[in-house]
Homo-oligomer: A and B are copies of this chain.
Amino acid sequence: MTTTMGSAAATGVPGILGRARDLVQPALRKAVARLDESSRAQSAYHLGWTDRDGVPAAGNGGKAVRSALAVVSAQAAGAAVETGVPGAVAVELVHNFSLVHDDLMDGDTERRHRATVWSLWGAPSAILTGDAMLALALEVVLDSGSPHTVPAARLLTETTRRLIEGQALDIAFEERDDVAVAECVAMAGGKTGALLSASAAIGAVLAGAGQEVVSALTVFGEEIGLAFQLVDDVLGIWGDPAVTGKPVYSDLHAGKKSLPVTYATTHGGAPGRELAEWLAAPEPSDEAELARVAALVAAAGGREWAVAEAAHRLAAAEQALAPIPAGPRADLIDIARFIVHREA
């Protein structure tokens, strides 16, 4: 049976995401069930399916926008949504592998208002669980039965390399005082653009789509990745902790060279220079001090630039979809706007 995304009862993005989740969740759970006992328990917890004691949780495991992109991606190539499901499972697993490892690397003890895997089970277990999710992502695509399995799996390995490169740059930037906006954009392209791009393209790749369709989806995903990161960076400074699940001013507290901060230090005149000096020698900061620094980023134009740049990227993403049929194109645009127009 072929399910058509966007045609059932619920309308708009909640409908698209809900139907994608209904389609992808059983396959994702089946895949995770293959893991060793320890990785399985930690993955189920991380994905929001259980509490830390393994008791099933009420949550539905997050918005799963990457899954939704992957199944709509198959439709964009004229195939059934089911064709995109192994790709959807794989991109969710790659995403969550990177989150489990990133939380450990960054020393974050909370994610989505819950204790992180490493903080509950220790660093060695978190390393293994992430490794297991990465290998499983590839395995799910290899088991897809699609005649286009090899290019789809190849897309995942290349995406993983870009993810890792983005994270490595992020770590390297912490030690540097001279990061340029272009370098920061390249880093964000790796950390966020690569996987959203792969999510938007993998369904079409599994469906054997032509180069024009795959390229359109690739560019679309890359651009919404950058738009997402710009918005995320704004939220990392000015977002409501109750919504973001992170402490107020968390990115400033961590001294992150995020996109708005980098724009501010390199294009922001006097307040930008004051910000750069603070970043070069940050002192232990209370909330009042961090509020002052956040005001410097805004005064230097960092917030305004990031919001405008996110809008440009979103427009570019939508334009890239010209070769895609109207139905899936509308769904992709809805998902893109949903990702970018969060609480920024």
Contact = CB atoms under 8 A, between A and B. Distances in A.
Interface in A38-97: 38-39, 97
B128 A167 contact: yes
A124 B153 contact: no
Interface in A1-54: 34-39
B165 A36 contact: yes
Nearest to A34: B161
Interface string A94-134: 00010001001110000000000000000111011011101
A306 interface: no
A292 to B, nearest CB: 30
* Interface bin, chain A: 35 or more
A217 interface: no
Interface stretch (A142-150, A227-235, A311-319): A142-150
A127 B127 contact: yes
Given A139-B157, A150-B142, A128 B34 contact: no
Contact of A127 (B101, B149, B154, B158): B101
A307 to B, nearest CB: 30
Interface centre among A105, A160, A168 (most CB of B within 10 A): A168
A140 to B, nearest CB: 9
A171 interface: yes
A246 to B, nearest CB: 19
A136 to B, nearest CB: 7
A98 to B, nearest CB: 8
Contacts of A124: 104-106, 171
B132 A36 contact: no
Contact of A131 (B125, B131, B169): B131
Given A150-B149, A153-B153, A158-B139, A168 B105 contact: no
Nearest to A101: B127
Interface centre among A97, A130, A149, A161 (most CB of B within 10 A): A161
A264 to B, nearest CB: 26
Interface centre among A39, A127, A134, A171 (most CB of B within 10 A): A127
Contact of A142 (B35, B157, B169): B157
B34 A132 contact: no
Given A36-B165, A161-B34, A127 B153 contact: no
Contact of A138 (B106, B127, B157): B157
A133 to B, nearest CB: 10
A142 B161 CA distance: 14
A106 B128 CA distance: 12
A172 B38 CA distance: 9
B39 A128 contact: no
Interface of A: 34-39, 97, 101, 104-106, 123-125, 127-128, 130-132, 134-136, 138-139, 142-143, 149-150, 153-154, 157-158, 160-161, 164-165, 167-169, 171-172
22 contacts: A36-B168, A39-B164, A104-B123, A104-B127, A105-B127, A105-B128, A127-B130, A128-B167, A128-B168, A130-B131, A131-B131, A131-B160, A134-B134, A135-B157, A135-B160, A135-B164, A136-B161, A138-B138, A138-B153, A142-B153, A142-B157, A150-B150
